[in-house]
C-alpha cells in the first residue's frame, strides 16, 4: 500500500532552512547512518499500523473505523514530519550514496505532509479521511432508486439514451460539492507541510519524485504529451463523427468538443465502453471478451486466478494463501466499502492483497491483471530496506500491471489460456487496435490534466472560487470535452474523481501509459517476437519474466533511469513505443477522418 500512496525518489530537492545554531557541531556520516537505521525501524512499525487501519476502514466504512484510520494516519504523518525535520540536520554532511538517497526519500515520504505543529497532523488526517469517505459512500437518487457509483457506471457503460446519460452523470457529480468547503483547508495544510520540507508547495513536492527538479518534470510530461497528442486528436476526430451519426447534431455536433457523458465512462477517461457506437465498418465483429468470459463460466475468483496464472507463466511464485484469505474480491452486501480497485502490502513482506468489487467484464479482466502487477512488484522489492521499498518512480508501479494487461488484452493470450479458439486474422487488427486506443490513448490527456489542475491549486494559480472553471478549462484544452450542460455554481467536479477526493497522485498514470509500451517493446524483442507489436503476448516467457523481475527487485534503491535500463536498455522515457504499437490504426484513422474538421 505504501508504495502506491507515497512519493518516489528525486535527484534534487530543496534543502531545509536550518538555523546556523542547529548546524553546530557538524553531524558525522556515522550519525547520519544511525539516524536512517532508526528512522526506518520507526517507519516500518508505523506503516504496519497505518496500513491495517486503512485496510479496515476501506473494507468496513463506519464512524469508528474512520476514527481509527484518522488516528493512525495522523500519528504516521506526525512521525514522518518529525523524521524529515531531523533529516535536515545532515544537509551538507558527506554521507555515503545509499544514506544520501534515503535522506532525500524521507523528505518525499508523504503525499500530504503535515505541518510540524501541534494538532496539524490530526487535522490533515481527519480531512483526508472525511473526503475519502464522502466519495466512497456517495449515492444519489434517480428515478426513485438510490444509486452508488458502481450503479452509475453501469448506466454510463450500457445506456445509449443521451437524456439518461446526462441525468446519471449529473447525479454522480452531485455527491462532490459538499467536499468543496474542506478542500481548500486540506490544500492549505498540505502546502504548509510541504514548505516545511523545503518545497514551494505540495505540487512541487509531488513532481520532485522523478529524480529531477519539479520544473524539469513538468517539461518532461509536456514533452511526452507532444509525442502522442497528434494521435489523440486523430482518435477524437473519428469518435466525434461516430457520436454525431449516432445521436445527431442536437446532442453531439460534428465539430468542436465532445460531450463528456457520451463516452461510456464517468470521467471520460477511457472510451472502450462505447465501442459498439464507433465500431469500424467492413471488419468482422472481433473478439467480445465479456461474452467469452460468461460463456466459459468465469466468476470473479476465477478471473483473479487467471491473472495469477499469467504471472506464474513468467516464473513468478504463486500468490500466498493469505492473499486468498484476506483479499476483498467481490462487493459485500452487508456493509459500505471503498470499491475503487487497489493493491496492498500490509507488512512490507508477503501480506499482499487486492481490494476490488470485481465484475465479470472485459474491463475488470484487465484490472485484475493490473492490480496483481502491483502485488508482484511489492513482493519483488521486499528484500530492500524500508525507504527503498517502492516504485522506481510513481509511473513504474502502474506500468507494471498495465504491461501485463497489454498481453492479457491480445487475442494471442486469450487463445493461449483457452478463452478463444482461434485468433482473428491479421487483416482484422483494426477493431482490436481501436478497442485498445479507446482506453489507452483516450486516457492520456486525462492522466496528464488531473494533476495539472492540482499543481495549479497548490501553487495558488487556481483559487477555490475558480476550482470548477479551471477543471473544465483543462478538460477542454487537453481532452476536447465539455460537460453535458452548464454546471451549477457550487459544482466541485474534480471531487467526483476518486484520486482527488483521496489525495492520491495521478501523474503516475500518465507516465505508466508510456512506460508500459516501452516495457512491451523491450519484452517482445527479448522474446524474439517478429510480428506486429500489438499481437505480442509474453505469456509463458520465463526468460523475460526473470529479467523483468530483476528490474522490479531494485525498488527505488537507485535513480529510475538506471532501473529502466536494466529491463529495456533505455534510460529515457520514450513515447515512440506507443506510436509503434498503434501505427496501423493511426494510418487508418487518418483515412477515415478525410473531410472532417478535426480539433476543437
Helix/strand/coil percent split, the chain, to 5: 65, 5, 35
Q: Quickly state the pLDDT bin for 89 (edges 50, 70, 90).
A: confident
Q: What is the mean pLDDT of residues 62-75?
A: 90
For residue 422, what pLDDT is reported?
84
340 catalytic? Reply is yes
Q: What is the 3-state secondary structure (H, E, C) of 370-395?
A: HHHHHHHHHHHHHHCCHHHCCCCCHH
Residue 582 near residue 520 (C-beta atoms within 8 A):
no
Cα separations (Å) of 509 from 253, 497, 505, 506, 537? 30, 14, 9, 6, 22
| pTM, entire model | 0.86
* Candidates 46, 72, 341, 501; catalytic one: 341
**Could you tell me which residue, 459 or 19, shows the higher pLDDT?**
459
User: Which of 531, 534, 509, 508 has its CA nearest to residue 520?
Assistant: 534
509 catalytic? Reply is yes
Q: What is the pLDDT of residues 429-478, one digit of tens each?
A: 999 899 999 999 999 999 999 999 999 999 999 999 999 999 999 999 99
The gap from C-alpha 273 to its chain's centroid, in whole angstroms, comes to 19
C-alpha cell at 420: 478463444
For residue 107, what pLDDT is reported?
85
**Could you tell me which residue, 457 or 285, shows the higher pLDDT?**
457
534 catalytic? Reply is no
Q: What is the mean pLDDT of residues 9-34?
A: 59
For residue 24, what pLDDT is reported?
55
369 catalytic? Reply is no
How far apart CA 140 and CA 173 sit, in angstroms, is 9
For residue 3, what pLDDT is reported?
41
Least confident span in 159-168, 227-236, 289-298, 487-496: 289-298
* Candidates 236, 340, 369, 534; catalytic one: 340
Sketch the domain layout of the chain as residue ranges. Answer: 2-127, 299-435+508-521+528-565
Q: Quickly state the pLDDT bin for 394 (edges 50, 70, 90).
A: confident
Count of C-beta atoms within a 10 Å radius of residue 445: 26
Q: What is the mean pLDDT of residues 223-243?
A: 97
For residue 87, what pLDDT is reported?
87
Least confident span in 284-298, 299-313, 494-508, 577-591: 284-298
Residue 226: pLDDT above 50? Answer: yes
Residue 266 near residue 152 (C-beta atoms within 8 A):
yes
* Candidates 173, 397, 499, 534; catalytic one: 499
486 catalytic? Reply is no
Residue 306: pLDDT above 50? Answer: yes
Q: Which of 13-22, 108-117, 280-289, 447-456 has the highest mean pLDDT?
A: 447-456
For residue 18, what pLDDT is reported?
40
Count of C-beta atoms within a 10 Å radius of residue 45: 12
* CA end-to-end distance (rounded Å), the chain: 40
State the chain's mean pLDDT as an integer.
Answer: 91
Residue 138 near residue 340 (C-beta atoms within 8 A):
no
Q: What is the mean pLDDT of residues 342-370?
A: 92
173 catalytic? Reply is no
Q: Quickly state the pLDDT bin for 11 (edges 50, 70, 90).
A: very low
Residue 505 near residue 494 (C-beta atoms within 8 A):
no
Residue 415: pLDDT above 80? Answer: yes
Cα separations (Å) of 221 from 3, 40, 395, 419, 512? 21, 32, 12, 38, 12
* Candidates 40, 270, 308, 398; catalytic one: 398
Q: What is the mean pLDDT of residues 524-546?
A: 94
* Candidates 173, 369, 370, 534; catalytic one: 370
Q: What is the mean pLDDT of residues 210-227?
A: 96
Count of C-beta atoms within a 10 Å radius of residue 349: 13
* Candidates 374, 409, 478, 498; catalytic one: 374
For residue 14, what pLDDT is reported?
32
How far apart CA 416 and CA 327 sit, in angstroms, is 27
Q: Which of 63-67, 296-300, 468-472 has the highest mean pLDDT?
A: 468-472
Q: What is the mean pLDDT of residues 511-538?
A: 94
* Candidates 371, 399, 496, 522; catalytic one: 371
Residue 368 near residue 358 (C-beta atoms within 8 A):
yes
For residue 529, what pLDDT is reported?
93
Q: What is the mean pLDDT of residues 187-212?
A: 94
* Candidates 210, 376, 377, 509; catalytic one: 509
Cα separations (Å) of 330 from 131, 324, 358, 510? 24, 12, 5, 28
DSSP assignment, residue 398? H
Cα separations (Å) of 324 from 56, 192, 315, 347, 359? 17, 41, 20, 16, 17
Amino acid at each position: 500500500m505504501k508504495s502506491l500512496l507515497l512519493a518516489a525518489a528525486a535527484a534534487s530537492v530543496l534543502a531545509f532552512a536550518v538555523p546556523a545554531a542547529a548546524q553546530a557541531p557538524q553531524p558525522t556520516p556515522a550519525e547520519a547512518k544511525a539516524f536512517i537505521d532508526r528512522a526506518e525501524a520507526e517507519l516500518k512499525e508505523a506503516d504496519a499500523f497505518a496500513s491495517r487501519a486503512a485496510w479496515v476502514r476501506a473494507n468496513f466504512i463506519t464512524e469508528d473505523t474512520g476514527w481509527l484510520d484518522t488516528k493512525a494516519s495522523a500519528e504516521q504523518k506526525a512521525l514522518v514530519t518529525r523524521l524529515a525535520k531531523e533529516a535536515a540536520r545532515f544537509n551538507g554532511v558527506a554521507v555515503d550514496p545509499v544514506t544520501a538517497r534515503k535522506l532525500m526519500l524521507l523528505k518525499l515520504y508523504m503525499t500530504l505532509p503535515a505541518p510540524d505543529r501541534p494538532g496539524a497532523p490530526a487535522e490533515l488526517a481527519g480531512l483526508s479521511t472525511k473526503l475519502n469517505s464522502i466519495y466512497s459512500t456517495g449515492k444519489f437518487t434517480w428515478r426513485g432508486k438510490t444509486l452508488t457509483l458502481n450503479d452509475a457506471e453501469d448506466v454510463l457503460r450500457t445506456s445509449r439514451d443521451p437524456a439518461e446519460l446526462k441525468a446519471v452523470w449529473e447525479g454522480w457529480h452531485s455527491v462532490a460539492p459538499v467536499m468543496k468547503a474542506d478542500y481548500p483547508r486540506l490544500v492549505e495544510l498540505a502546502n504548509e507541510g510541504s514548505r516545511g520540507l523545503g518545497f514551494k508547495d505540495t505540487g512541487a513536492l509531488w513532481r520532485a519524485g522523478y529524480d529531477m527538479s519539479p520544473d524539469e518534470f513538468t517539461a518532461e510530461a509536456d514533452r511526452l504529451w507532444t509525442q502522442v497528442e497528434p494521435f489523440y486528436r486523430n482518435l477524437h476526430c473519428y469518435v466525434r463523427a461516430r457520436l454525431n451519426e449516432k445521436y445527431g447534431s442536437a446532442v453531439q455536433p460534428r465539430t468542436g468538443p465532445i460531450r463528456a457523458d457520451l463516452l461510456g465512462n464517468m470521467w471520460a477517461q477511457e472510451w472502450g465502453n462505447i465501442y459498439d457506437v464507433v465500431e469500424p465498418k467492413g471488419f468482422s465483429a472481433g473478439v467480445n471478451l465479456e461474452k467469452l468470459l460468461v460463456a466459459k463460466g468465469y466468476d470473479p475468483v476465477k478471473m483473479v486466478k487467471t491473472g495469477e496464472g499469467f504471472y506464474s507463466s513468467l516464473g513468478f511464485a504463486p500468490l500466498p494463501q493469505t492473499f486468498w484469505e484476506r483479499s476483498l474480491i467481490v462487493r459485500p452486501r452487508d456493509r459500505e466499502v471503498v470499491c475503487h480497485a487497489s493493491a496492498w502490502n500490509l507488512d512490507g513482506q508477503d501480506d499482499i492483497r487486492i481490494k476490488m468489487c470485481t465484475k465479470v467484464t472485459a474491463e475488470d479482466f484487465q484490472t485484475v491483471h493490473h492490480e496483481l502487477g502491483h502485488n508482484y512488484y511489492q513482493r519483488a522489492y521486499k528484500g530492500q530496506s524500508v525507504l527503498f521499498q517502492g516504485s522506481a518512480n510513481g509511473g513504474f508501479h502502474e506500468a507494471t500491471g498495465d504491461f501485463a494487461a497489454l498481453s492479457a488484452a491480445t487475442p494471442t493470450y486469450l487463445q493461449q489460456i483457452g478463452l478463444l479458439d482461434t485468433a482473428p486474422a491479421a487483416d482484422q487488427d483494426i477493431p482490436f487496435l481501436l478497442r485498445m486506443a479507446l482506453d489507452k490513448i483516450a486516457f492520456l490527456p486525462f492522466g496528464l490534466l488531473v494533476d495539472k489542475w492540482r499543481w495549479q491549486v497548490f501553487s495558488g494559480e487556481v483559487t477555490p472560487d475558480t476550482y470548477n472553471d479551471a477543471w473544465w478549462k483543462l478538460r477542454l484544452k487537453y481532452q476536447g470535452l465539455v460537460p453535458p450542460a452548464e454546471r451549477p455554481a457550487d459544482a466541485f467536479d474534480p471531487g467526483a474523481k476518486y484520486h482527488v477526493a483521496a489525495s492520491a497522485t495521478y501523474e503516475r498514470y500518465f507516465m505508466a501509459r508510456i512506460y508500459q509500451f516501452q516495457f512491451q517493446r523491450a519484452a517482445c524483442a527479448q522474446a524474439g517476437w517478429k510480428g506486429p507489436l500489438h499481437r505480442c503476448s509474453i505469456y509463458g516467457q520465463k526468460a523475460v519474466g526473470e529479467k523483468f523481475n530483476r528490474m522490479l527487485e531494485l525498488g527505488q534503491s537507485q535513480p529510475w533511469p538506471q532501473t529502466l535500463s536494466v529491463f529495456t536498455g533505455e534510460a529515457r522515457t520514450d513515447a515512440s513505443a506507443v506510436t509503434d504499437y498503434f501505427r496501423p490504426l493511426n494510418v487508418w484513422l487518418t483515412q477515415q477522418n478525410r473531410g472532417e474538421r478535426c480539433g476543437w
